[in-house]
Amino acid sequence: MDKPQTLKGFRDFLPEKMIIRNEAIRRLRGIFEKYGFDEIQTPSLEYQEVLLGKYGEEAEKLMYLFKDPGQRNVGLRYDLTVPFARVASTYQDLPKPFKRYQIQPVWRAENTQKGRYREFYQCDVDMVGTSSPLADAEIIAVINDSLKALGFSNFKIRVNSRAVLFSIMENAGIDKERWLTAIQSIDKLDKKTQEEVEQELAQKGISTEQTKSIFGNIKSASPDEFLSKTIEYTKNMGAYENVSFDPTLARGLDYYTGPIFESVVEEPKIGSITGGGRYDNLLKTLGGPDLPATGTTIGLDRVVDVVDELKLWSQEKTVTKVLVTVFNPELLLQSIKIASTLRGSGVNAELYPDEAAKLEKQLKYANNKGIPFVVLIGPEEDAKNLVQLKDMASGKSENITLEQLLKKIK
């Protein structure tokens, strides 16, 4: 290796990106907690027996599976839903319904492209212990409020149901054991042409007549009773304006059993930014209680990519609000006092960490880092109990008292 570099699909995040990521997480946490969801975290590694047999063959090809030093078969988590189902199975005395949110990284050996990485963060909200469509409607409302809180305006929440898809498969005369693999192919209609999907279905043993029936029934499909109630509840919650029924929506993972949802933005073309649905059998599959569940994930990395590309927020380079300079070693204690006072008042203040540095170097540092304000205290200011505040954007300076400085900065 000529020089150190990251693995393909893995990234470093410098301060400018972390500011956007942390702000997105802050906004999402606010929405999740407003709806009564509490945070949990789970380990990065799970036993392979927890991960395998839940997602489908195509997903399992993308898992990072290996033996640990103790020769145990383990794997990096593929999503946050299966680990959550394990938690709900392990801690069966949790209050039901149990509402949790989780913001952690997951790993998939994807073919990397725009918006698709091998290590990425998911922001999940899930509810376990209720089979009411009210729960699914609330998840959709959380999606709607979350995307609005992130500053998105042109987005669509597509909804469908596995019950609708299963009915289409049955009416087409497809053997039940082939339903899920056929659904996985239909799920690619947003990435492939209908002809390409038809060819894939043929390779899976679906006849031309059956394929024709599938696409014919998709065009005439309507929501089943459960999904209709879910949609009605979203209207009462004021969350329906961006919702649309889409019978081609399939979601590729095997564990979904009822309503499924996915969100896309008009621009940029980056794929889905949220995805989820009802998975009533997953806890039982893990050896836990037979409890229904529903939820969604919001892809933090794609959210950040959209915010960054569309410049939805102000592009700050640092969380530091003020740089307190050191005029000379004799005035160091005054600079320390000012920095401490600012920090004590809740202002992010950085004290330049070299009392021998020239003032020009300190100002250049503030400019390069993107710090909006600089405080200087020289002999003249010190004699008058004043400080000089410099606005780095406008270049204007003013001499004010420390009390005035606190009011102005805050």
pLDDT in tens, 40-79: 999 999 999 999 998 888 889 999 999 999 999 999 999 9
CATH of the domain at 326: 3.40.50.800
Q: Is 318 annotated as a binding residue?
A: no
pLDDT of residue 189: 81
In a domain, 315, yes or no: no
Q: Is 280 annotated as a binding residue?
A: no
Strand order in the sheet with 45-47: 45-47, 73-76, 65-67
Q: Are residues 305 and 355 in the same domain?
A: no
Q: Are residues 72 and 152 in the same domain?
A: yes
Q: Is 256 annotated as a binding residue?
A: yes
Identity of the amino acid at 84: F
Look at the chain and report how many structural domains it folds into: 2
pLDDT of residue 110: 86
Helix (H) or strand (E) holding 273: strand 272-278
Q: Are residues 266 and 395 in the same domain?
A: no
Q: Are residues 302 and 167 in the same domain?
A: yes
In a domain, 371, yes or no: yes
Q: Is 251 annotated as a binding residue?
A: yes
Q: Are residues 229 and 365 in the same domain?
A: no
With beta carbons less than 8 A apart as the criterion, state whether 133 and 237 touch: no
Which residues in the chain land under pLDDT 50?
none
Q: Is 48 annotated as a binding residue?
A: no
Residue 139 to residue 126: CA distance in whole angstroms: 8
If one counts every other C-beta atom within 10 angstroms of the C-beta of residue 95, the result is 8
In a domain, 391, yes or no: yes
Helix (H) or strand (E) holding 66: strand 65-67
Q: Are residues 219 and 329 in the same domain?
A: no
Q: Are residues 334 and 277 in the same domain?
A: no
DSSP of 345-360, one letter per residue? TT--EEE-S-TTS-HH
With beta carbons less than 8 A apart as the criterion, state whether 6 and 48 touch: no
Q: Are residues 343 and 275 in the same domain?
A: no
- Using only C-alpha atoms, the chain has a radius of gyration, in whole angstroms, of 27
In a domain, 7, yes or no: no
CATH of the domain at 64: 3.30.930.10
In a domain, 1, yes or no: no
pLDDT of residue 184: 85
pLDDT of residue 1: 57
**Strand pairing report for 38-39 and 98-107:** parallel
Last residue of one domain, picked from the residues 266, 288, 310: 310
What tokens appear for 357 in the block?
A: 């540095």
Q: What is the per-residue pLDDT across 130-142, written as a single tens digit (0 to 9) for each?
A: 999 999 999 999 9
- DSSP classification of residue 116: B
In a domain, 42, yes or no: yes
Q: Is 122 annotated as a binding residue?
A: yes
Q: Is 255 annotated as a binding residue?
A: yes
Q: Are residues 337 and 189 in the same domain?
A: no
Mean pLDDT of the chain: 92
If one counts every other C-beta atom within 10 angstroms of the C-beta of residue 241, the result is 9
Q: Is 343 annotated as a binding residue?
A: no
In a domain, 169, yes or no: yes
With beta carbons less than 8 A apart as the criterion, state whether 381 and 363 touch: no
3-state secondary structure of 261: strand
Last residue of one domain, picked from the residues 310, 340, 364: 310
If one counts every other C-beta atom within 10 angstroms of the C-beta of residue 12, the result is 7
Q: Are residues 237 and 357 in the same domain?
A: no
Q: Are residues 327 and 404 in the same domain?
A: yes
Q: Is 108 annotated as a binding residue?
A: yes
Last residue of one domain, picked from the residues 253, 282, 310: 310
Range of the domain at 231: 15-310
Q: Where would I find the beta strands (DSSP E) of 119-214?
A: 119-128, 155-161
Q: Are residues 141 and 224 in the same domain?
A: yes
pLDDT of residue 390: 96
In a domain, 4, yes or no: no
Name the pTM for this structure. 0.87
With tokens 């499909």, the residue in question is 221
